[in-house]
Every structure is written in C-alpha cells, then in structure tokens.
Amino acid sequence: MSLTQTKDNYGLYYDICLFEKRELLVERYNLNGDPVCCSHLSFFNCFLCEVIEKNHQKLANTTLHFKDLNAEIILNYCRYLYDRKDMRPININLCIQELTIFLDTRNGRDHHFSIYDLEQIKKGLQRGLKNILRLISIYRNLLKCQFRVEIPPTEWFDDDPEQYKLFAPQAPIAAEEILDTWTIVSLRRKDEIAYFKGNTSQRKLAVAVGKTLIQRLRIGDMIPVRFGITWDDHAFCMAVDYPILSK
C-alpha cells in the first residue's frame, strides 16, 4: 500500500509512517511493499501495542486510530520509556520530541484535541521527560558513589590531612546492611547531605551525597538502595536500583 494513498481510516500506524515520510524525510518498506515505521516513533507504536492493546508480538503494528488516543494514554508513554531501562537519555529525548511534533501535525488535520488540551498534553510530555532524565541521572550518580563514604578527618590529623589517607581503607566495610526502598525526607543542600527514611525498616540515615546528587534529589523521591553502615555509623551505598517513577 503506497503511503501516497494513505487515508485517515487506515489507522494511526499509517499516520506515523506518513509523518516520517513528509516531515522526517525517512521511509522504509517491507518485502510486501507495506510501510515500516523507522523513526523514534516506532517506540510509541510498541507502547500502544504492548501496553494499550496487550499485543506483545515483536513486529506488531498498532490497530488504533488517532481518535482513540487520549491524554492519559499519551502521558503514560513516559512511564513506558522509563521502565524499558535499555534506552539512553538521548533516545528518550528524541522519542518525546518526535511524538510532540507528530501530535501537532496530525491534530492539524481533524482537531481531535482542542488547542488547549493539546498544549497541556505537550507540556505534560515535557515535564515527564525532564523528570525521567533527572531520575536516570540520580541512578547513574548513585552507581558512581557505591562503596564510597565521606568521613571527615579526626582531630589528630587536622594539621596534616595527607596522613588521614594513609589510614583510610580503600573501600568502607559494612558492619550492617539494610536493603529497602528509601524516601528522601529532607535535604541539607549547603552541606550536601540527604536524609533517607526506609519505607519498610523505618530506619533514618543521613548520607553525604555530593554536589551533583544534591542538585537532582527532591523530597519525596523513592529509591531502592542497599546501604552499608560502618562501625562508626557512616552510611554508604552498596547497590542501587532505578528510582521509582511516581504516578
């Protein structure tokens, strides 16, 4: 089926392929001559098939029409991208930006969404993207902090800080380990200290997190972490999973 023959009743998948040809100047066809989605909008197609239509075939094409979309479906796309865990931030960004342009272009044909509703959807996508990139940055920076603990020098070594390094272990040793999903309950930005509370253990920890993390963390963030506690009660990250994306 030629894309030049595409009509509204052929469905959303052909709308996407037509958009790729006209706006992105890319097109691809399979051996049967049918158009194949080849931009970052292919992830939106996968989302619609897997999450909305419950069709998990690898090469499935959505059977939905543009009129079937609503704000909730579109904004849930952000969660789908975050949950994949295999996508680089630059590709997630392209997924959102290409979808935003597509929605603008496609809605111009039949005005399925009002101008106000479409603007709210686009703003929601940008907020979702910004939050996703922030959470990924938190995860990556916590990975860098694994088995590192900031312990200030004792008074004995105040005159010569280099001496402290001779006695400091290369990696901290955990006298206790706590695996939990931790909520950020307070931030002391000046001192770069975050206060964590375990959702299950109810344990409270003050952790030095450094400049980059203190700028990205927010009160209410929930992060699965295995914390190690040294014999003198300093907490350090032993293992971390992706922060939980709030609903």
In tens digits, the chain (247 residues) has pLDDT values of 444 444 444 699 999 999 999 999 988 888 888 888 999 999 999 999 999 999 999 889 999 999 999 999 999 999 999 999 989 999 999 999 999 999 999 999 999 999 999 999 999 999 999 999 999 999 999 998 887 766 544 444 455 555 545 445 567 788 899 999 999 999 999 999 999 999 999 999 999 998 999 999 999 999 999 999 988 888 899 999 999 998 7
Tokens of 136: 């990924």
Number of structural domains found in the chain: 2
- Beta carbons within 8 Å of 56's beta carbon, 6+ residues apart: 49, 50
Which secondary structure element, helix H or strand E, spans residue 227, and what is its range? strand 222-229
**In the Cβ-directed half-sphere of 6, how many Cα atoms lie within 13 Å?**
18
Residue pLDDT, tens place only, 189-216: 999 999 999 999 999 999 999 899 999 9
Find tokens 């963030």 and name the residue.
Answer: 221
Q: Do residues 8 and 95 share a domain?
A: yes
Q: pTM of the entire structure?
A: 0.84
136 and 151 fall within a common domain: no
Does 65 share its domain with 128? yes
121 in the same domain as 31: yes
Same domain for 95 and 40?
yes
What pLDDT was estimated at residue 52? Answer: 97
Query: Do 38 and 130 have their domain in common?
Result: yes
Residue 90 sits in the same domain as residue 176? no
Q: At 172, give phi and psi (nearest 5°).
A: -65, 155
State which H helix or E strand residue 91 sits in. Answer: helix 89-110
Q: What is the CATH number of the domain that holds 169?
A: 2.40.50
Alpha helices for 2-85 (secondary structure H): 12-19, 41-47, 71-84
